[in-house]
A and B are shown apart, each in its own frame.
Chain A
Amino acid sequence: MTNNSLLVLVISSGVGYGTPLLYAALGEVLAERTGVLNLGVEGMMLVGAVMGFWTVQRIHIGSTLVLAAAIGVAALAAAAMALIHAFLVVTLRANQIVSGLALTIFAGAGGLSSYLGNDLNLSGAPARHQFTEPLPNSLQNLKIVGPILFGQSVLVYASWLFVALVAVYLRWTRAGLNARAVGESPAAADAMGIDVVRYRYLHTIAGGALAGIGGATFSLWLTPQWVDGLTEGAGWIAIALVIFAFWRPTFCLVGAYFFGALTALPFALQAHNVHISGDLIQTIPYAATVVVLVLVSSAVARRRLGAPAALGRPYVREER
């Protein structure tokens, strides 16, 4: 098997396409584990993408610095979007589904991200700085593992770090335990002195920041330029991925690369002169998510690995 073989190609570019999904899904895991469903992922990603891109185009500092700053700006901008959602659903107890959709309409393609992109004159030009593959060629050219493991951008390696962080946080830290308690039973958590409101805010916002980084992955590495609506529905796949991964960060990693590989497959096949419909292959992540949802629908399965019990429900203390 050479490094140009179909499988290596599909997996290595699948890791690339999967990375923005991974960031966004990790963020959504954080929010959903505290019981906040945020359907605004697509919008948050797009705002992250446009603001990250704006940073590299307009701020003139060294390449490494500006890319780091761009990621920071993307995360902040998307976190600000998440804050709107958190305020509406946590403080004002609005319907989480409607608020999330409203966020996507507000921030997404045809909304704020388009407004900013056009207003800041970002379209057309290629990125002045972009993420590259940092590891030496000798590693990148290794057989099979070279392109898959070593031929990736810093964003990929950073995402592994985030997976580990989120996984350890949720499983082994007190704050993570508290966060999960808030998502499972806010009333119990509240009675035990855990600040439900604060946990929900912080996790929703952190989730937004990660979605923003996911969006910047497009504009600073994969694409790399700004096009209106460049995420093309990745935010929705990320939401599917969270379910597909049973709300577990480590499963998100595998799922993201699986979904990414499905995106890469038609292109790779085309390079080998095989034509199959990319559209139909693209339905697989969504269809697979539906199947997973059906599988976890039974009460027993749900209790063992399913959604946080309070997902989507506002928590109201003084209600009678």
Chain B
Amino acid sequence: MRIERRLEQPRWLSFVVPAVAIALATLLGGLVLLVTGHAPVKSFRRLFEAAFTAKGALSATVVSATPLAFTGLCAAVAFRMNLFNIGGEGQLYGGAITGATAGLLLAHSPSPVAIGAMVLAGAAGGALVAAIPGFLRAFLATNEIITSLMLNYVVGLILTYLIFDTHSYLRETKGFEAQVFPQGKTLPASATWPSWTVHGLALPLGFLVAAGLAFAVWGLYARTRFGFEVQVIGDSSRAARYAGMRTRRKILAVMCLSGALAGIGGASQDGDFRHQLDPRGLTAAGYGYAGIVIAALGRYNPFAVVVLAFGLGGLQNAGYTLQSADFPAGLVGVMEGLILFCALGGEIFVRYRVRFERRAPKAPTAALEPEPSP
């Protein structure tokens, strides 16, 4: 087998490869089911129904998709500049903490004010968490991959601490249930985010915000000077420096932007769905990691991120729905992993030309001559 870099990436490949990846993953997942004595077709049909076609399934899928869209955008924005922010998880927690705080503080404000404040506070909280690896990377050249990963745990533990191990402002202290099992204060009605129902499909505000932000991110990167600089820095930081771009500031800015997106996702968790700061629920969900995966699958394209978030959200939603039934637990994670593996493996066919014959039958046409020999 020989592998050569493609000169140009045919467009059709970027559609065919993911489709084949999903098909292959389904096949492999079916194999896993078969080996362990389950009926593959039946299991997959139930999975699909629970995700998309059952009554109310689509609305529930949107609920699962919303945080994934935010964390996916978070990862995509940073990856575009070759910044591997894998701290979307912690940044989402950060946004959830600040978002919930804003919601509780503004209990007596009109709803639009409270909700607007929550969005801003969430963005600020996420940005703050992301600013730490961003600053370290920009000014001390510290690898952002591991620092952002480590902060996931630091912020996650702080989040747990706030509700479980202290009598913080965010914790519910009254009521019988709260005495037995610690939980966050319920947000006031003014801090509850609205949702709209279109043809029976409930669209929460958070999802619409995510879709709007996807559009904004696309515009920012494709049409502005800021986006141009991000592209250049992402492609070659030395070329950027050569052209007089302020790379350090841009690294910090992009990390903060990235964190802010995840942070709004955290605030949306408070306002849209959970109506309290919910450490157990948030830390168990792993939205941040799934977001990275979505961003990578969607090749950092913001629109693809939203679409993929919807697909993966469907899978996760089905996982929750079928949890108690006689359904193989863990199948959802297995399927997610398999799709990822197949898609990652498929990337090579997009980036490279893979040939299996021993000798090249014909000379490629020499339209462009690359630099001869390294």
Q: What is the 8 Å Cβ interface bit string for chain B, positions 275-309, against chain A (1 contact, 0 not)?
A: 00000000000100110110010000000000000
Question: In the complex the two chains form, is A106's CB within 8 Å of B142's CB?
Answer: no
A97 to B288, CA, bound (A): 13
Question: In the complex the two chains form, is B290's CB within 8 Å of A239's CB?
Answer: no
Q: Is B36 an interface residue, CB under 8 A from the partner? A: yes
Question: In the complex the two chains form, is B157's CB within 8 Å of A282's CB?
Answer: yes
Q: Is A167 an interface residue, CB under 8 A from the partner? A: no
A14 to B36, CA, bound (A): 38
A107 to B289, CA, bound (A): 14
Chain A hits for B332, CB < 8 A: 110
Q: Is A304 an interface residue, CB under 8 A from the partner? A: no
How many chain B residues touch A (CB < 8 A): the figure is: 58
Question: In the complex the two chains form, is A283's CB within 8 Å of B143's CB?
Answer: no
| Residues in B127-166 with C-beta less than 8 Å from chain A | 132, 136, 140-143, 145-147, 149-151, 153-154, 157-158, 160-161, 164-166
A145 to B330, CA, bound (A): 43
Q: What is the 8 Å Cβ interface bit string for chain B, positions 79-102, against chain A (1 contact, 0 not)?
A: 000001010000000000000000
A95 to B297, CA, bound (A): 11
Q: Is B345 an interface residue, CB under 8 A from the partner? A: yes
Question: In the complex the two chains form, is A118's CB within 8 Å of B328's CB?
Answer: yes
Question: Which of B336, B352, B374 touches A106 (beta carbons < 8 Å)?
Answer: B336
How many Å from the CB of B259 to the closest CB on chain A?
16
Q: What is the 8 Å Cβ interface bit string for chain B, positions 331-360, against chain A (1 contact, 0 not)?
A: 111101110110011011001100000000
Given the known interface contacts A92-B347, A102-B344, the answer about A280 and B157 at a Cβ–Cβ threshold of 8 Å is: yes
Q: Of all chain B residues, which has the CB nearest A289?
A: B150
| Residues in B236-284 with C-beta less than 8 Å from chain A | none
Chain A hits for B149, CB < 8 A: 39, 236, 239
Binds B, one of A129-137, A154-162, A172-180, A291-299: A291-299
A39 to B296, CA, bound (A): 15
Chain B hits for A111, CB < 8 A: 330, 333-334, 336-337
Q: Is B5 an interface residue, CB under 8 A from the partner? A: yes
Q: Is A112 an interface residue, CB under 8 A from the partner? A: yes
Question: Which of A92, A106, A243, A316 touches B146 (beta carbons < 8 Å)?
Answer: A243
Q: Is A278 an interface residue, CB under 8 A from the partner? A: yes
Q: Is A221 an interface residue, CB under 8 A from the partner? A: no
Chain A hits for B5, CB < 8 A: 319-320
Question: Which of A106, A289, A293, A316 touches B341 (beta carbons < 8 Å)?
Answer: A106
Interface residues of chain B: helix, strand, loop or mixed (majority): helix
Q: Is B373 an interface residue, CB under 8 A from the partner? A: yes
Q: Is A93 an interface residue, CB under 8 A from the partner? A: yes
Q: Of all chain B residues, which has the CB nearest A243?
A: B146
Q: Is B364 an interface residue, CB under 8 A from the partner? A: no
Q: Is A12 an interface residue, CB under 8 A from the partner? A: no
Of residues A97, A101, A105, A318, which shows the largest number of chain B Cβ atoms within 10 Å of its Cβ?
Answer: A105
Given the known interface contacts A98-B296, A99-B344, the answer about A279 and B146 at a Cβ–Cβ threshold of 8 Å is: no
Question: Which of A115, A287, A294 touches B136 (beta carbons < 8 Å)?
Answer: A294
Interface residues of chain A: helix, strand, loop or mixed (majority): helix
Q: Is B23 an interface residue, CB under 8 A from the partner? A: no
How many Å from the CB of A281 to the closest CB on chain B?
9
Chain B hits for A282, CB < 8 A: 153, 157
Q: Is B361 an interface residue, CB under 8 A from the partner? A: no
Question: Which of B136, B292, B336 touches A98 (beta carbons < 8 Å)?
Answer: B292
How many chain A residues touch B (CB < 8 A): the figure is: 56
Question: In the complex the two chains form, is B344's CB within 8 Å of A294's CB?
Answer: no
Question: In the complex the two chains form, is A95's CB within 8 Å of B154's CB?
Answer: no
Q: Is B220 an interface residue, CB under 8 A from the partner? A: no
Question: Which of A99, A107, A240 touches B150 (beta carbons < 8 Å)?
Answer: A240
Q: Of all chain A residues, which has the CB nearest B333?
A: A111
Of residues A93, A95, A101, A240, which shows the largest number of chain B Cβ atoms within 10 Å of its Cβ?
Answer: A101
Question: In the complex the two chains form, is B146's CB within 8 Å of A239's CB?
Answer: yes
A22 to B73, CA, bound (A): 35
Given the known interface contacts A92-B347, A95-B296, the answer about A102 and B147 at a Cβ–Cβ threshold of 8 Å is: no
Residues of B within 8 A of A (CB): 2-5, 32, 36, 84, 86, 132, 136, 140-143, 145-147, 149-151, 153-154, 157-158, 160-161, 164-166, 286, 289-290, 292-293, 296, 319, 328-334, 336-338, 340-341, 344-345, 347-348, 351-352, 370-371, 373-374
Q: What 18 new A-B contacts, CB under 8 Å, besides A102-B340, A115-B329, A307-B143?
A: A88-B344, A95-B296, A98-B293, A102-B341, A105-B286, A105-B340, A106-B341, A119-B36, A236-B149, A240-B150, A277-B161, A282-B153, A283-B154, A289-B146, A290-B132, A294-B142, A297-B140, A297-B143
Residues of A within 8 A of B (CB): 39, 84, 87-88, 92-95, 97-99, 101-119, 233, 236, 239-240, 243, 277-280, 282-283, 286-287, 289-290, 293-294, 297-299, 307, 312, 316, 318-320
Q: List 11 A-B contacts (CB under 8 A).
A: A88-B344, A88-B345, A108-B333, A112-B334, A278-B165, A282-B157, A286-B154, A294-B136, A294-B140, A297-B143, A320-B373
